[in-house]
Amino acid sequence: MSENVDAARVRDCLAGDPQAFTALVEQYEKPVYNVALRMLRNPEDARDIAQSVFLKAYQNLSNYDPQFKFYSWIYRMAINESLNILRVRDRYAGPVDERLPEDGAGPSELLAEDQRRDVVMEAVEKLRPEHRAVIVLRYFVDLNYEDMAQVLEIDAKTVKSRLYTARQLLKEHLASCGIL
Amino acid sequence: MDKGQLQELIQTDLDGELSVTERAELARRLLRDPAARRLHNDFRRTDQLLRDIPKAEPPHGLRAAVLAGLAPSVRPADPGHRQYGWPIYRVAAAILGGLLIVGISYLLLDGNAPGADLQGSLGAARGPESAVPAAPQDHLLMRTESVEVSASLRREGQGLRLEINSSTSIPCEVIARIDPAMTTLVGNPDDVQLTTAGGQVTVQLATGSQAFVLDFSGAAPIHLQLRAGGRLLQEGRLSVSGP
């Protein structure tokens, strides 16, 4: 969806057109939910975060700066809310980043496709939050370096570096599980 | 080109951000170096495995819940309207509220006030019961962004009367937990969707406003829970002392 369309919807909503915000929810409900789900891997939490993100976006719509992309703004909220939950729960015990590779689980042909997906998602879940965030934004909402930098409020060089580290760790982990 | 630089080149390739020169450089390296080809293959496979994970569909009802949560009270503040819109209403409401409170206080406290007759007539209208102390009551307010439930419990003869007023923008339920050995629900109000199981009375609250009464025999405290979509939103306890 073009940025101009989003900016126009925000403008319409601020001018009192409730349908404009409904259109934004329809447009971004799925990616926002996916960001939260892949960050937390818990559908209940992802649902709560999606609701909270849209409510906050609605309440703070007048603070939205149209020179930035609308989706960057709401994805940032989704990432930040997810990171807050992760901080509180400290759920990422034993991240891949700090762990030695596990013993191989067997050749890839023995693993069914859905099992492979589970292993991949488990590996993503075990990444440090800052590495997980770039993987989620790259693979689940298809952002490029520049957009990821805007969402995470870091420079594109740091995005690139985090993404490389994350992918390297995942590659090593998947190889140790016999998937590669 | 060392291994680190090769890895960076491969990953930039995966992200489709290589320049023409870099792409040519990578192609040359892959042609002459089997280890580089293996590394490239592993990264491509990792990338593909991540891409193969399907995007999840949001749960049914998420959009409705989001939109239901956008009550007029939390509407976005437009800087163009904010200065002149809400404050006027708020000031007007505050002035009217203040006048109302002052007026009622004046009527009730000053027996010589012109409204003393009104006080008398109100008292008379209450009848002889107004002379006796009010029955003990307990109140509970459960409030979230989307739901407000006000409950009051009072003694009614030998039993208990639980009055509930609700206003909700999302479907939710109120659950009254009682000790079935000591307390039972008496009757079944027609106008509410109610189920009972063991020591639990569950009332489904439709969106909008609703008021209903549940009568219980016995005297035990009642534990109330407010739930939506299987999640506990708020809870509390109501009890009144004996007659």
Whether the per-residue pLDDT at A171 is higher than 90: the answer is yes
Average pLDDT (A54-74) is: 92
Q: What is the pLDDT of residue B82?
A: 38
Which of B129, B140, B154, B165 has its CA nearest to residue B224? Answer: B140
For chain A, give percent helix, strand, coil, nearest 5: 75, 0, 25
Question: d(Cα B96, Cα B90) in Å, to the nearest integer?
Answer: 10
Identify the band that residue B220 occupies on the pLDDT scale cut at 50, 70 and 90.
confident
Could you tell me the CA-to-CA distances from B57 to A29, A31, A41, A56 in Å, in that order? 9, 9, 14, 22
Identify the band that residue A41 occupies on the pLDDT scale cut at 50, 70 and 90.
confident
Greater confidence (B177 vs B190) lies with: B177
Whether the per-residue pLDDT at A15 is higher than 70: the answer is yes
Domains in chain A, ordered, with CATH?
1-91 (1.10.1740.10), 95-180 (1.10.10.10)
Contact B138, B152 (CB under 8 A): yes
Domain spans, chain B: 3-52, 86-128, 135-238
- Using the Cβ of A124 and the Cβ atoms of chain B, whether some distance falls under 8 Å is answered with yes
Sheet of B231-238: strand order equals B193-197, B200-205, B172-177, B222-228, B231-238
For chain B, give percent helix, strand, coil, nearest 5: 40, 30, 30
Q: What is the pLDDT of residue B228?
A: 81
Average pLDDT (B196-218) is: 83
B63/A26 CB distance under 8 A = yes
Of the ranges A17-26, A107-116, B131-140, B169-178, the best mean pLDDT one: A17-26
Q: What is the pLDDT of residue A22?
A: 94
Whether the per-residue pLDDT at A83 is higher than 60: the answer is yes
**Minimal Cβ distance to A120: which of B49, B69, B75:** B49
Whether the per-residue pLDDT at A97 is higher than 60: the answer is no
pTM, to two decimals: 0.58
Amino acid at A68: F
Question: d(Cα B17, Cα B199) in Å, to the nearest integer?
Answer: 64
Q: Specify the range with the lowest mean pLDDT, choosing from A35-39, A50-54, B68-72.
A: B68-72
Residue by residue, DSSP assigns B26-38 as HHHHHHH-HHHHH
Q: What is the pLDDT of residue B92?
A: 59
Q: Specify the range with the lowest mean pLDDT, choosing from A157-161, B46-50, B116-120, B177-181.
A: B116-120
**Minimal Cβ distance to B56: which of A21, A37, A54:** A37
Tokens, residue B12: 């930039």
Whether the per-residue pLDDT at B197 is higher than 90: the answer is no
Q: What is the pLDDT of residue A110?
A: 52
Q: What is the pLDDT of residue B145?
A: 67
Return residues 59-98 of A near B (CB < 8 Å). 59-62
Average pLDDT (B158-176) is: 85
Greater confidence (A120 vs B97) lies with: A120
Whether the per-residue pLDDT at A12 is higher than 90: the answer is yes
Average pLDDT (B191-218) is: 83
pLDDT digits (tens, 9 = 90+) for B83-104: 333 444 455 566 666 677 766 6
Average pLDDT (B123-132) is: 39
Closest-CA distance of chain A to residue B209, Å = 22
pLDDT digits (tens, 9 = 90+) for B19-67: 999 999 999 999 999 999 999 999 999 999 999 999 999 998 999 999 9
Identify the band that residue B130 occupies on the pLDDT scale cut at 50, 70 and 90.
very low
Percent of chain B with pLDDT over 70: 72
Percent of chain A with pLDDT over 90: 70
Which residues, 6+ apart, have CB-to-CB distance to A14 below 8 Å?
A61, A62, B76, B78, B80
Greater confidence (B112 vs A150) lies with: A150
Tokens, residue B213: 């009464």
Q: What is the pLDDT of residue B144?
A: 75
Q: Using DSSP bridges, classify how beta strands B172-177 and B200-205 pair: parallel, antiparallel or unpaired.
A: antiparallel
Greater confidence (A180 vs B125) lies with: A180
Whether the per-residue pLDDT at A152 is higher than 50: the answer is yes
Average pLDDT (B2-30) is: 91
Average pLDDT (A30-39) is: 96
Q: What is the pLDDT of residue A105?
A: 46
A50/B66 CB distance under 8 A = yes
Identify the band that residue A86 occupies on the pLDDT scale cut at 50, 70 and 90.
confident
Could you tell me the CA-to-CA distances from B227 to A42, B147, B210 in Å, in that order? 19, 10, 16
* A13 chain-B contacts, CB cut-off 8 A: 76
Whether the per-residue pLDDT at B106 is higher than 70: the answer is no
- Match 């569950």 to its residue by tokens: B202
Interface test with B, best of A19, A56, A139 (most B CBs within 10 A): A139
The HSE-up count of residue B237 (CA atoms within 13 Å, CB side) is 6
Average pLDDT (A104-109) is: 49
- Helices (H), ranges, A60-112: 70-89
Greater confidence (A111 vs A23) lies with: A23
Contact B210, B173 (CB under 8 A): no
A14/B55 CB distance under 8 A = no
Helix and strand numbers, DSSP H then E, in chain A: 8, 0
Whether the per-residue pLDDT at B138 is higher than 50: the answer is yes
Question: d(Cα B183, Cα B191) in Å, to the nearest integer?
Answer: 22
Average pLDDT (B143-147) is: 75
CATH code for the part of the protein at B135-238: 2.60.40.690
